[in-house]
């Protein structure tokens, strides 16, 4: 796990909430963003800034994900809260005091955070932004190393999952007893396919060891043996037999190159 990146997450919640509301995208799902970030590394710091008296219904979800909620009440004189200032100060302080943190995720579309993104990069931190497409500043996008659109995460999450039939290699096995019901497909196969599909966007080649490490970050309860597999390689072979992935074993590295097969 020496190469596992450590991530700090900062959320400008009001900016995201207003963007989601304007686009009529339903309730904001912070879990979608956290899951995508966990595919990139281990999250070690999570803070969300907002006047939470205006968003009481969202408090429970943020609390359930272990996000520290910093309450910044609006001032009557300005009509605007100072959440952005607090967020900038905390991010810069963390950047200087915690050298082990590799990546900063700024969940906002506000151009006011562009100088923060630039300063973090100057401090040798990788910056990932995330916001609603229609309410995200191009200036902020250009200041980040990578930008994730919340809209894309929602679209992928809402896309119906198509179950594939077993590949021909699986069919060549001994015929099943017709009197026995077909074995139910293990749920962890869905988790495996989901993670492989996401990681392929960032890594080529994609190694089996990286997939297992990522699945455990996204799904801490993951255990292939509880689903009847001897080990992770056994799970990969089953996914290959079912036509989800292709495997190419690298003798020198003692590891599998994994590729998601087209539907």
Task: Mark whether 153 and 222 lie in a shared domain.
Answer: no
Q: Specify if 252 maps to a domain.
A: yes
User: Which of 158, 186, 209 delimits the end of a domain?
Assistant: 158
Give the mean pLDDT of the chain.
Answer: 87
My answer on whether omega of the bond before 205 falls inside 30° of 0, hence cis, is: yes
Is the pLDDT reported for residue 244 higher than 80?
Answer: yes
Is the pLDDT reported for residue 179 higher than 60?
Answer: no
Cβ atoms of 26 and 16 within 8 Å: the answer is no
Is the pLDDT reported for residue 6 higher than 70?
Answer: yes
Q: What pLDDT digit, counting tens, does each position of 22-80 carry?
A: 999 998 999 999 999 999 999 999 999 999 999 999 999 999 999 999 998 877 645 45
Share of the chain above pLDDT 70, in %: 86
Task: Mark whether 61 and 117 lie in a shared domain.
Answer: yes
Q: Specify if 224 maps to a domain.
A: yes
Mean pLDDT score, 91-104: 96
Q: What is the pLDDT of residue 187?
A: 85
Task: Mark whether 16 and 138 lie in a shared domain.
Answer: yes
Calculate the dihedral angle through the C-alpha atoms of 102, 105, 111, 114, rounding to the nearest 10 degrees: 0
Task: Mark whether 19 and 144 lie in a shared domain.
Answer: yes
Q: Which tops the pLDDT comparison, 87 or 185?
A: 87
Query: Which residue in the block uniquely carries the two structure tokens 């952005």?
Result: 84
Task: Mark whether 205 and 237 lie in a shared domain.
Answer: yes
Mean pLDDT score, 228-257: 93
Task: Mark whether 175 and 253 lie in a shared domain.
Answer: yes
pTM of the predicted structure, to 2 decimals: 0.81
Q: What is the pLDDT of residue 186?
A: 77
Q: Specify if 13 maps to a domain.
A: yes
Task: Mark whether 130 and 239 lie in a shared domain.
Answer: no
Cβ atoms of 91 and 84 within 8 Å: the answer is no
Q: What pLDDT digit, counting tens, does each position of 133-164 carry?
A: 999 999 999 999 999 999 999 998 887 665 55
CATH number at residue 103: 3.40.50.1010
Q: What is the pLDDT of residue 169?
A: 43
Q: What is the pLDDT of residue 165?
A: 52
Q: Which domain holds residue 124?
A: 6-158
Cα(127)–Cα(216) distance, integer angstroms: 23
Q: What is the pLDDT of residue 1?
A: 47
Task: Mark whether 89 and 174 lie in a shared domain.
Answer: no
Task: Mark whether 60 and 136 lie in a shared domain.
Answer: yes
Share of the chain above pLDDT 90, in %: 71
Is the pLDDT reported for residue 247 higher than 70?
Answer: yes
Q: What is the pLDDT of residue 23?
A: 92
- Confidence band of 263 (pLDDT split at 50, 70, 90): low
Cβ atoms of 131 and 19 within 8 Å: the answer is yes
Q: What is the pLDDT of residue 201?
A: 85
Task: Mark whether 107 and 14 lie in a shared domain.
Answer: yes
Q: What pLDDT digit, counting tens, does each position of 16-33 carry?
A: 999 999 999 998 999 999
Number of structural domains the chain divides into = 2
- Confidence band of 192 (pLDDT split at 50, 70, 90): very high
Indicate the SS3 state at residue 128.
strand
118: Cα separation from own chain's centroid: 23
Is the pLDDT reported for residue 208 higher than 50?
Answer: yes
Q: What is the greatest pairwise CA distance in the chain? A: 77
């Amino acid at each position: 796990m020496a190469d596992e990146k450590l991530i700090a997450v900062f959320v400008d919640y009001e900016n995201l909430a207003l963007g989601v509301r304007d686009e009529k995208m339903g309730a904001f799902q912070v879990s979608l963003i956290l899951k995508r970030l966990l595919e990139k590394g281990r999250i070690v710091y999570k803070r969300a800034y907002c006047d939470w008296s205006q968003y009481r219904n969202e408090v429970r979800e943020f609390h359930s994900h272990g996000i520290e909620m910093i309450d910044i009440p609006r001032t009557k004189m300005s009509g605007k809260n100072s959440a952005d200032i607090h967020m900038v100060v905390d991010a810069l302080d963390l950047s200087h005091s915690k050298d082990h943190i590799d990546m900063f995720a700024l969940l906002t579309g506000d151009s006011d955070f562009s100088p923060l993104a630039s300063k973090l990069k100057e401090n040798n931190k990788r910056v990932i932004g995330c916001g609603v497409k229609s309410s995200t500043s191009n200036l902020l996008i250009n200041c980040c190393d990578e930008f994730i659109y919340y809209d894309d995460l929602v679209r992928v999450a809402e896309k119906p999952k198509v179950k594939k039939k077993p590949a021909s290699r699986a069919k060549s096995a001994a015929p099943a007893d017709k009197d026995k019901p077909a074995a139910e497909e293990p749920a962890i196969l869905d988790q495996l396919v989901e993670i492989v599909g996401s990681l392929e966007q960032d890594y080529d080649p994609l190694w089996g060891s990286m997939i297992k490490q990522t699945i455990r970050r996204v799904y801490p309860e993951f255990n292939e043996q509880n689903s009847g597999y001897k080990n992770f390689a056994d799970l990969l072979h089953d996914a290959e037999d079912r036509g989800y992935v292709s495997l190419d074993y690298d003798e020198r590295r003692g590891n599998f190159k994994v590729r998601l097969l087209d539907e």
